[in-house]
Structure 1
Amino acid sequence: MINILRNNDARRFGLLAFGDPNLDTVIAVDAVPRADQKCLGRRLGSFAGGTVANVACAASRLRIPVASYGRTGDDVAGEFLRAEFQRTGVSTAYLRSLSGKISANALIMLDKCGEKAVVYEPMPGPVLDPKTISQALVDSRLVHAMPYDLEEFFELSKLAHGTGTAVSIDIETAMVNGPARLDALLALSDLVFMNEQSFSEIVKKPLTAANVRALLERGPELIVVTRGAAGAIAVSRKQTVEQSAFRAQVVDTTGAGDCFNGAFIAALLEGRSLMQATRFACAAACISVTAVGARSGLPDREAVSALLAAADQSFDY
């Protein structure tokens, strides 16, 4: 078992997903336009999304008890986002509806290879609510966040560790403006996810096991870096696992990393080994790219097990 979880198996939720969900509007284009360019597009639809929200739904589909902690507006989009959480089994006990506010939105341009560009419009104001956060953390074994607001994340991490709740984060290039910011995020976290592009841009070094392990000295127990079609690398203080991706017919890569993170957390909460968790997450992510929309292709446990079995993986999930 990966040793970042406390003795909190009896808690109501395995995962608390800290962050606002958003409505994704997806438009197909031949190629994503650059500055001063215009292109024709074809609307593919509107879907429930949001990075942390997608992680929540991925884990819930894999039979982990999950709660969403965040906000929606009291608009039609907010009603839709809540209904989608309920459809995938995610508790909305800690999801607040704000009167007179518009839910978060994202515009996603999807090219003919399934790659994407995203414009995100967040809800203003803090996600953390002092009246509800403590009970939400007490109810949960692990909290997962995307910490763009460092002050808010500092408070979240302090409260989480005070209640014996592990802290997981996903780091993107846009949230790190220098080495001091990276050090602060790492020091406040137990489990860190990144993708290969963000790792190279933030760390200013190529993705190697040694370069990942050097970051562990700054605080976290485990760092996982996804590599798209090349799979993933997971590094703890005692072990390194490199896992290749599984074959997939790529339709839309939106949410593939979120699915990976949710599946990895699900395996972690079940006490799986680092190798098992990484294989399981890679398999889940490869299934997720076979449909349009961040959550449309999220697999259940049976689908992941079938893929692993077909690939001669003999793990009992």
Structure 2
Amino acid sequence: MIAIVGSANVDLVVKVKDFTKPGETQVCLSFERFSGGKGANQAVTCKKMGADVYFLTCTGNDSNGQFVREKLLEVGLKEGIQIVDATNGFALIELTVDGRNRIIIYPGSYGLLTPDVLFQHTEELLRCGILLLQNEIPFETTYHAAKLFKENGKTVIFDPAPAHGVDKGIFRYVDIVTPNEVEGQILTGEKEKEKIVEKLLELGCKNVLLKLGEKGCLLVGELGRFEIPAFKVQAVDTTAAGDVFNGAFAAEFERSKDVKRALIYASAAAAISVTRMGAQSSIPTHQEVMDFLAKGGIS
């Protein structure tokens, strides 16, 4: 069983020809509302990949909060979802026609996911063998969750996104840290991928899984060294691709205990997701990933 402690928000997406310049006003090509948030994206991914999931999050008591909860229930996520007296968190996403995005986040309800809320659900959380974390909720909650799971002999996977405000003391409780290149640069001050990995290992991470986008991924640490190329697809929206990768990796790693297999599986899931619009609406099922891999000649 996989535990996710994290955010659940609404993505408000405006599609544009190109990013709006300072002082410019432009008419968007379309507007859509999706259920998102890094925690929710990863929880939905794990669930659609066949894992049992406990998702601890705080949702708002407004219409956006109701929308988020309905979307989570649609995929069978029921345990751990709290309702608080606040506006649900949301993200304003500017998406270009060639799939690039810029995102502004308002935490709202998931900013109330405090350590007190975490500790109220300790028993339920520790039924799980893997913990998946991100960095959109208050960092002290993320830190205490990692510490709680590590001290109880569980596996902790930490996606340090966004990468600002990360206390590096958390890394001693992290089994696998999964930044992308930009996040890795922010965390370490290094530019080159091997230097990023080396620095993160020095900071206490047992394994570093560096997500390299269209260049694939690199994992280095106690689990070994693996470099997996990305699948070549036509991207239309890269929103949540990293979340899909993390959720798919956690689900397959729990299922097979095979690191290389989990990396290939996660790469396939992320590749499928960027060919579709939205965050959770882009997440494939386990069967879709297996079909994609079969067509690609990978067993």
Structure 2 vs 1, CA of residues 160 and 237 (structure 1 numbering), >3 Å: closer, same or farther?
A: closer
2:181 maps to 1:196: yes
Q: Distance in 1 between matches of 2:286 and 2:105?
A: 31
Q: Which residue number in structure 2 is paired with residue 119 of structure 1?
A: 104
CA contact (8 A) 1:19 1:127 kept: no
Q: Does 1:249 align with 2:234?
A: yes
User: Given the alignment of the two structures, is residue 146 of structure 1 paired with residue 131 of structure 2, yes or no?
Assistant: no
- List 4+ stretches of structure 1 deviating above 6 A: none
> What is the DSSP-based 3-state SS (H/G/I as helix, E as strand, rest coil) of the residue aligned with 2:19?
coil
1:176 to partner: Cα distance: 4.1
Alignment match of 2:36 (pick from 27, 46, 49): 49
TM-score by length of 2: 0.91
> Which amino acid is the alignment partner of residue 16 of structure 1?
A
Partner of 2:66: 79
CA distance in 2, matches of 1:299, 1:118: 23
- TM-score (normalised: structure 1): 0.86
Residue 44 of structure 1 aligns to a residue in which SS? strand
- Determine helix, strand or coil for the equivalent of 1:282: helix
Closer, same or farther: CA 299–207 of 1 in aligned 2, 3 Å: farther
Alignment gaps of 5+ in structure 1: 1-13
8 Å contact 1:213–1:236 — kept in the other structure? Answer: no
What corresponds to 2:84 in structure 1? 98
Cα RMSD (Å): 1.9
- Distance in 2 (CA, whole Å) between partners of 1:25 and 1:154 is 29
Partner deviation per Cα, 1:182-219 (whole Å, 9 max, x = no partner)? x3132231221101122123322234346414422332
- 2:218 pairs with 1:229: no
Distance in 1, Cα, partners of 2:144 & 2:97? 42
Tell me the matched-pair count: 295
CA-CA distance at 1:241 after TM superposition: 0.9
Q: Distance in 2 between matches of 1:271 and 1:210?
A: 30
Q: Which moved more, 1:269-278 or 1:161-170?
A: 161-170
Structure-1 residue corresponding to 2:156 = 167
Query: Quick check: 2:223–2:259 contact (8 Å CA) kept in 1?
Result: no
Alpha-carbon distance between aligned partners in 2 of 1:97 and 1:61, rounded to the nearest angstrom: 23
Tell me how far 1:74 sits from its aligned partner: 1.4
Higher helix residue share? 2
> Separation in 2 of the partners of 1:295 and 1:219?
32
Match status 1:293 vs 2:278 = yes
Among the aligned pairs, what percent are the same residue?
Answer: 27
Alpha-carbon distance between aligned partners in 2 of 1:137 and 1:130, rounded to the nearest angstrom: 9
Tell me which moved more, 48-57 or 304-313.
304-313
Pick the aligned partner of 1:158 from 131, 147, 163: 147
